[in-house]
Amino acid sequence: MQSLPEYLHLSFHTGRANVTAMRTPIRTIALVIAIILCLFAVACSDGAKDSKHDGASLPLDPPETFTDDEAPLTLSHDGRNFESPWGYAREANAARNYPLLVSGCWGEGQGEYSAVSKTHPAFVIDYQKDGVGDGEALADWIDSAIAAGFRIDRTRVYLTGFSRGGSGSFPLAKGMYNKDRYFAAIVRVAGQSQSDIGNAIAEKTALWYHIGLLDTEQRVQVARAALEKFRGYDSYTDAVETTSTALFTR
């Protein structure tokens, strides 16, 4: 048995939240989603000053309990299906806006979120897209869904992405930015391109970036380049890098 470095965790934060990641990347997604949804249960101060980020929110303490009849339902708007939160139709929640989890390529975020979906209810959309234009389309879709009466909180839209979805998370964020919209947080796992998200987006978005040290050299270098880029942003000067280890049999 030999102890080898398994996962490099680049923990970036905007001053609103900071998380030390766990060892397994997919489990990390579930953990970080749960923490993000909890920490951002109240709309961020930037959003409170901007009428375009005006979602109301309610605390989740104590946690709700649900019956099987209150399970998430498949909803549809403008040609896209998405899932409702647990208890969405409950009368007591009629004035409550909910976070939106955007599960990017390849869907791991959506699958892992199910483990915490009752304690942190949210809308979930499977969005297998990775371009700037796709980010613009997503921003328009969110605005349209809200206008249609779906109670999505604009200030709590979160993105997860693995591999292609990791690389694609930055173009999606840039597309949202082109529409004056932002992800509250991004959980990025790996990706072989895209190290720079831009200071204006970084000001509004918390990022957790995870990469396996035994991944390809290109992907590891992209992650390290991203860390240096983010340290140059005003809100990320104290971005940190942490490394976890695990036991392997050779």
Question: What per-residue confidence (pLDDT) applies to 90?
Answer: 96
User: 193: closest CA among 220, 213, 153?
Assistant: 220
User: Which ranges of the chain does DSSP label H, i.e. alpha helix?
Assistant: 25-39, 45-48, 108-113, 132-147, 164-178, 199-202, 217-231
User: 191: closest CA among 223, 214, 213, 160?
Assistant: 223
Question: What per-residue confidence (pLDDT) applies to 212?
Answer: 81
Distance of CA 125 to the CA centre of its chain: 12
Contact between 42 and 17 (Cβ < 8 Å): no
Residues 210 and 213: their CA atoms lie apart, in Å, by: 10
Question: What per-residue confidence (pLDDT) applies to 246?
Answer: 54
Distance of CA 215 to the CA centre of its chain: 22
pLDDT in single tens digits along all 250 residues of the chain: 444 444 444 444 443 333 333 333 444 444 444 444 444 443 333 333 343 434 444 555 677 899 999 999 999 999 999 999 999 999 999 999 999 999 999 888 888 888 899 999 999 999 999 999 999 999 999 999 999 999 999 999 999 999 999 999 999 999 999 999 999 999 998 888 999 999 999 999 988 888 887 888 999 899 889 989 988 988 888 887 777 765 444 4
Question: What per-residue confidence (pLDDT) applies to 238?
Answer: 81
Please report, for the chain, the start and end positions of each structural domain, with discontinuous segments joined by +: 2-50+92-248
Question: What per-residue confidence (pLDDT) applies to 45?
Answer: 33
Residues 6+ apart with CB under 8 A from 50: none
Contact between 122 and 3 (Cβ < 8 Å): no
Residues 226 and 156: their CA atoms lie apart, in Å, by: 24
Question: What per-residue confidence (pLDDT) applies to 245?
Answer: 64
Question: What per-residue confidence (pLDDT) applies to 108?
Answer: 81
Q: Which residues of 77-109 are buried (b: 16+ CB within 10 A; e: fewer)?
A: beeeebbbbbbbeeeebeebbbbbbbbbbbbbb
Q: Specify the fold of 2-50+92-248.
A: Rossmann fold (3.40.50)
- For 14, 16, 59, 81, 163, the CA distances from 116, given in Å and listed in that order, are 24, 21, 15, 21, 23
Q: Which residues of 219-240 are buried (b: 16+ CB within 10 A; e: fewer)?
A: bbebbeebbebbeebebbeebe
The pTM (predicted TM-score) of the whole model is 0.79
